[in-house]
Structure 1
Amino acid sequence: MSKRGHDGQNQLGDGNKRPRRRKHLYLVLDDWNNGFSIHKIDADTIDSDSHGSTGANAVAGYLPEPALLRLASPIGSLPHACMFFAALDTKIFAFMNQRCALVYNTDTAVTAIGPHTPARMRCGFGITVVSGEKLYVLSYRFLEKQHSFEVMSWAPTAPDAMMQRPTEGWSWKTLPAPPPTFTTRQRVTSYALHPDGYTIFMTTANRDTPGRRLGTYSFNTRSSEWRWHGEWALPFLDRGYFVSELDAWVGLHEDGYICSCQVASRSAPGIRKLDWQTTREKLFYKDRDTHMRASLTYLGRSKFCLVESVVREGVEFDTDHALGDHHGCVLHVTTFGLGYNHRGELQTTNQNSTRSYLVSRHHSHFSPLVFGT
């Protein structure tokens, strides 16, 4: 993939400063029947491991117990709509459908009550993007067949009647909805924040044909304007991350490889596709018969963490045996670096480090999440 400029913007991706190195990883799992757990693991412990196998039976042990935090799902919620999670700086948010959010601060180890989830927003069917210390959430309302687009930020609120002075807190604001053509395609298959720090690119596909990529849009968080970029797609799955050292977006490719691609121009018309390439080494999806879910998190300085959930060896994948309270799954947590070799080919750098854990899972659709702070 050739390196290209993109509007002469800030190359650091967050609009402010280079991401700092993270010391801990926070895993979010649906590993008990009443809800979700957050587990804290030392990233340096994974880094110190020798390169290990990531086969379905490569198990190093169990996650540390007790869990850092357990969150019970709201009573009566649908399993797929009960909660979704996002991170903003050192805060991990757990959003519950039409209820108050919970906020866990990884610096202070304090759990607080967060903002009430807007009625227009439906949990579990959206994407979250951090831009300028604000959290943008796009969700799809299936009954109305419309998207809801909201932004959450910490800001002054109305003056307190007793204290007679302004207060501060988390608040939501409704943003312009996507264009009608965006809504008819319904599903966001991939998205990334431009290195300018305020333009969010999204590729959408038709709900009835999820494998067909139909078009890419962008939203400018400064002007609150949507833009149509054409019938081409971001080549990765789900979220992509800008890496300044590579001058590229990086994400998961559908075949199990890590993908880097040219950053799209905010204004260039007529583009058909982006230049992109993958690593030679397959990092996940090595066994399609046992693979369940995978997610990628950027830790800064060209370093990533990949979390993949697979069915434990000896457990039948096509039955409910993989789900429940009996550790029917294996969680592979892999940290690795990325770089270009002398031929300009994308490759993992240093030595990949992997730890595997026996875990329980309760919903096949939920992707284990990892946040680095």
Structure 2
Amino acid sequence: MFGVRSRGITFGPWKHQGDHPWMNHPPIYLPVGKKLFTLSTASFEMLSLEHIIYPPASYCSMDRSLRWSWEQLRRQPFKVDDVASYTLHADKRTFLISTRTDAAAATFAFDTKALSWKLLGNWALPFAGRGHFVPHLRAFVGLSKDPDTLGQLYSCDVPSFDDAGDGQCPAPASRVCNEKLFSDNPAERHVSATLVDMRCDGEFCLVERVFVAADQALVEEGDARLPGRCFYRVATFFLTYGMNGDLTTRKSRQVQYYQVPEATSKLFLAEDPVAFWM
């Protein structure tokens, strides 16, 4: 664990994931408060910070300290390989996880206080990967990876399941942003992308990897001309609803390019960028 203020590293206990830690799917990390939930093919675990009280050294003194520890939780009622999207609910204690297979879709809720799963319904959140709750939109927002809407954003209303005794609720209404946020430069080929919530109630950063072949047009950044290679296209924007209720950035996008180090492996480039905003 890296402290962004202290610039120091804290070592915690190693997470047990069996003989094949990632198998076919990398772990999904779900942070809530001072707890971190990890969902992998081998296990479902919770990392938490707990107080440890040691025996008193004397009659009037007591040594107290904190310790990080892992706890094995009850396995999820679905295959991790089938996970299509996930997000933290507006209540900041419940995770929503959607699965998709060729035959069906389903969305499950996990209560991080009761440590229990329940099925919400046979529907899936409309975006792909991690979604983000935007308070002023009162909706979840996430990227689409469907070929017809690639590079566009989906917003999805918060499902109401508090009063449903069996946990079932109808699929929430969703909207799609008609603006394509990926690069529209014909010389740039899209590789992968990650949407990052900047925690400013609607402000986002889209980190996109693009590739430009050496024999194609070069990309300009100010007066410097970047050679044909992989680089990051970083776009920041603010989301709101337009007059007709559609999701829009209202021309708030600002774009910068950053070169990807030449030593970066092809395997790393094939995955979605790992990016954080703190």
Which residue matches 1:292? Answer: 191
Which residue matches 2:51? Answer: 156
* Matched ranges for 1:295-334 at <5 A: 295-300=194-199, 301-314=201-214, 328-334=229-235
Which structure 2 segments of 5+ residues have no match? 217-226
* 1:128 aligns with one of 29, 33, 37: 29
Which whole-Å CA distance do the structure 2 matches of 1:154 and 1:327 have between them?
47
Compared with structure 1, are the counterparts of its residues 241 and 288 closer, same or farther at alpha carbon in structure 2 (3 Å cutoff)? Answer: farther
- Three-state SS of the structure 1 residue aligned to 2:31 is strand
Which residue matches 2:111? Answer: 220
Which residue matches 2:152? Answer: 257
Which whole-Å CA distance do the structure 2 matches of 1:160 and 1:308 have between them?
53
Which residue matches 2:92? Answer: 197
> Does the 8 Å contact 1:151/1:172 carry over to 2?
yes
Which residue matches 1:370? Answer: 275
Which whole-Å CA distance do the structure 2 matches of 1:169 and 1:293 have between them?
37
Which residue matches 2:131? Answer: 240
Per-residue CA shift, 1:21-46, capped at 9, x if unaligned? Answer: xxxxxxxxxxxxxxxxxxxxxxxxxx
Per-residue CA shift, 1:81-124, capped at 9, x if unaligned? Answer: xxxxxxxxxxxxxxxxxxxxxx2111121223233222459356
Which whole-Å CA distance do the structure 1 matches of 2:140 and 2:41 have between them?
25
Q: After superposing the two structures, state which structure 1 stretch, 267-276 or 291-300, moved more.
A: 267-276
Per-residue CA shift, 1:54-101, capped at 9, x if unaligned? Answer: xxxxxxxxxxxxxxxxxxxxxxxxxxxxxxxxxxxxxxxxxxxxxxxx
**Are positions 1:340 and 2:245 aligned together?**
no
Which whole-Å CA distance do the structure 2 matches of 1:113 and 1:160 have between them?
24
Instruction: Kindly tell me the number of residue pairs found equivalent between the two proteins.
Output: 249
* 2:11 aligns with one of 107, 110, 113: 113
Per-residue CA shift, 1:234-254, capped at 9, x if unaligned? Answer: 000101111110000011012
Compared with structure 1, are the counterparts of its residues 222 and 265 closer, same or farther at alpha carbon in structure 2 (3 Å cutoff)? Answer: same
Compared with structure 1, are the counterparts of its residues 350 and 105 closer, same or farther at alpha carbon in structure 2 (3 Å cutoff)? Answer: farther
Compared with structure 1, are the counterparts of its residues 281 and 177 closer, same or farther at alpha carbon in structure 2 (3 Å cutoff)? Answer: same
- Three-state SS of the structure 2 residue aligned to 1:370 is coil
- Paired residue type of 1:236: F
**Are positions 1:166 and 2:29 aligned together?**
no
CA displacement at 1:229 relative to structure 2: 1.8
- Three-state SS of the structure 2 residue aligned to 1:116 is coil
Taking only the aligned residue pairs, the percentage that are identical comes to 31
- Three-state SS of the structure 1 residue aligned to 2:108 is strand
* Matched ranges for 1:352-371 at <5 A: 352-360=253-261, 361-362=264-265, 363=267, 364-371=269-276
Which whole-Å CA distance do the structure 1 matches of 2:214 and 2:95 have between them?
43
CA displacement at 1:343 relative to structure 2: 2.0
The two structures have a TM-score, normalised by structure 2, of 0.79
Q: Rg: which structure is higher?
A: 2
Compared with structure 1, are the counterparts of its residues 188 and 111 closer, same or farther at alpha carbon in structure 2 (3 Å cutoff)? Answer: same
CA displacement at 1:336 relative to structure 2: 0.7
Per-residue CA shift, 1:267-317, capped at 9, x if unaligned? Answer: 44664532111222100265798221111111122111110111123379x
Aligned-residue Cα RMSD (Å) equals 2.9
